[in-house]
Amino acid sequence: MSAASPGTEPATSESIDARDGAAGTGGKRVLLAKPRGYCAGVDRAVITVEKALEMYGPPVYVRKEIVHNRHVVDTLRERGVIFVDETSEVPEGGLVVFSAHGVSPAVRAEAEERNLRTIDATCPLVTKVHKEVNRFARNDFDIMLIGHEGHEEVEGTSGEAPEHVQLVDTPEDVDKVQVRDPSKVVWLSQTTLSVDETMERVEQLRARFPEIADPPSDDICYATSNRQVAVKAMAAECDLVLVVGSRNSSNSQRLVEVALQAGARRAHLVDYAHEVDESWLDGVETVGVTSGASVPDVLVMELLQWLSDRGWADVQEVTTANEKISFALPRELRAGAGSSVR
Ligand code: SF4
């Protein structure tokens, strides 16, 4: 897995060294990871729902959480979005947005049968993995999909070719999978996993199936890997790392794990600053702060203010990459595209 992903420029040595220069000042300080927060896929998904509200008015239905962030979901709900678990909950002819995590062909077919108008906010990097599944399934490969059981993205991706895909979540799953032809096996992955843990799972699979093929390109997305690189760069200096993100956000949860593995003494996930337990700050000098790919930066700013009020006012940004990537809005919403919501 590469650290410098497409659409990403490696940080200059000055931006990384800025942290080192201040490290000797002692006392309370905050190291703030960059990149952090919103990725291009989340930005696109949130704008998609906002534009749908503007263009078509409420109610706009969204299947599942548009992105895994409590603040984003609550804010959109207040503006007239109705979140549903299944398309069967949307009234006939209603407008439904598919979330950034993607959906299976069965979900699309059900929406069509029920005459729903659809807008697809699936992240293009998730769609890329769907296409890989289809391609390898057409070539009759057994596909080992590394991912977390029950995660919406995994359900959508597996649903592209359920008869070819087996989910590998835990090390025990590696022992359980069965393949028809060991020379026709490939591994693919969910986009928001821990890079290191995924490679461990791949090596376990390779020990069983030495001919296993690699994905044509990294499935773990640039945003997930960049945020892990940034938190790793500062973790060893941190007595405490606070990750802003929601419990059901895979990439946010991974940031907590990566911080601990990279040497942070403690790490916690919080949705809001007020969730920080003041006792976590006992004996702490350096606090690391980062946020998951579905987190608006306003929540990080609130956490920085909360820390500043308690004496952690010295904030030094630790930059490991500069992200430039952005995605076009779904076709149905592009001005002048001449298409309308089905
Ligand atoms: S985390 Fe990655 S795959 Fe998920 S929405 Fe963001 S860019 Fe897309």
Tell me, yes or no, whether 226 and 201 share the same domain. Answer: no
Separation between Cα atoms, residue 272 and residue 133, nearest integer Å: 37
Tell me, yes or no, whether 141 and 188 share the same domain. Answer: yes
Tell me, yes or no, whether 197 and 228 share the same domain. Answer: no
Tell me, yes or no, whether 197 and 259 share the same domain. Answer: no
Residue 225 CA to ligand 1 centre (angstroms):
10
pLDDT reading at 240 higher than 70: yes
Region 100-106: mean pLDDT is: 98
Tell me, yes or no, whether 172 and 230 share the same domain. Answer: no
**173 lies in some domain:** yes
Protein residue with its CA nearest to atom 5 in ligand 1: 41
pLDDT in tens, 114-156: 999 999 999 999 999 999 999 999 999 999 999 999 999 999 9
**139 lies in some domain:** yes
Q: What pLDDT score was predicted for residue 334? A: 80
Residue 86 CA to ligand 1 centre (angstroms):
22
Q: Which residue has the higher pLDDT, 204 or 4?
A: 204
Answer whether 41 contacts ligand 1 (Cβ < 6 A): yes
Tell me, yes or no, whether 316 and 229 share the same domain. Answer: yes
pLDDT reading at 174 higher than 70: yes
Distance of CA 278 to the CA centre of its chain: 28
Q: What pLDDT score was predicted for residue 339? A: 43
Residue 340 marked as a ligand binder: no
Answer whether 221 contacts ligand 1 (Cβ < 6 A): yes
Tell me, yes or no, whether 73 and 33 share the same domain. Answer: no
**111 lies in some domain:** yes
Domain interval for residue 118: 40-123
Are 341 and 330 a contacting pair, CB within 8 Å? no
Residue 41 CA to ligand 1 centre (angstroms):
5
**Main-chain phi, psi angles of 319, to 5 degrees:** -105, 125
Tally of structural domains, the chain: 3
pLDDT reading at 4 higher than 90: no
**191 lies in some domain:** yes
Which atom from ligand 1 is nearest to the alpha carbon of 42?
Answer: 5
**335 lies in some domain:** no
Tell me, yes or no, whether 264 and 171 share the same domain. Answer: no
**337 lies in some domain:** no
Tell me, yes or no, whether 317 and 235 share the same domain. Answer: yes
Answer whether 192 contacts ligand 1 (Cβ < 6 A): yes
**69 lies in some domain:** yes
Separation between Cα atoms, residue 272 and residue 305, nearest integer Å: 12
Question: Is residue 185 helix, strand or coil?
Answer: strand
**342 lies in some domain:** no
Tell me, yes or no, whether 23 and 85 share the same domain. Answer: no
Q: Which of these three, 123, 138, 164, is where a domain ends? A: 123
Residue 69 CA to ligand 1 centre (angstroms):
13
- CATH number, domain at 163? 3.40.1010.20
Are 30 and 23 a contacting pair, CB within 8 Å? no
Q: What pLDDT score was predicted for residue 19? A: 45
Q: Tokens 């003041």 map to which residue?
A: 278
pLDDT reading at 48 higher than 90: yes
Question: pTM for this one?
Answer: 0.91
Q: Which of these three, 176, 208, 240, is where a domain ends? A: 208
Q: Tokens 């992200």 map to which residue?
A: 323
Residue 238 marked as a ligand binder: no
- CATH number, domain at 105? 3.40.50.11270
257 counts as catalytic: no
pLDDT reading at 15 higher than 50: no
pLDDT in tens, 298-308: 999 999 999 99
Protein residue with its CA nearest to atom 2 in ligand 1: 221
State the pLDDT confidence band at 312, using cuts at 50, 70 and 90: very high
Residue 99 CA to ligand 1 centre (angstroms):
11
Answer whether 126 contacts ligand 1 (Cβ < 6 A): yes
State the pLDDT confidence band at 11, using cuts at 50, 70 and 90: low
Ligand 1: residue of 36, 38, 39 to mutate (most ligand atoms within 8 A of CB) is 39
Q: Which of 132, 153, 155, 323 is catalytic?
A: 153
> pLDDT averaged over the chain?
92
Q: Tokens 């941190």 map to which residue?
A: 238
DSSP code at position 213? B
Q: What pLDDT score was predicted for residue 99? A: 97
- Please work out, in degrees rounded to the nearest 5, the angle formed at the alpha carbon of residue 300 by the alpha carbons of 278 and 154: 105
Residue 183 marked as a ligand binder: no
Single out the residue of 6, 121, 13 nearest to residue 65, CA to CA. Answer: 121
Q: Which of these three, 208, 239, 255, is where a domain ends? A: 208
Quick one: tokens of 269?
């996930």
Cβ neighbourhood burial of 258 (10 Å; 0-12, 13-18, 19+) = buried
Tell me, yes or no, whether 70 and 104 share the same domain. Answer: yes
Tell me, yes or no, whether 79 and 118 share the same domain. Answer: yes
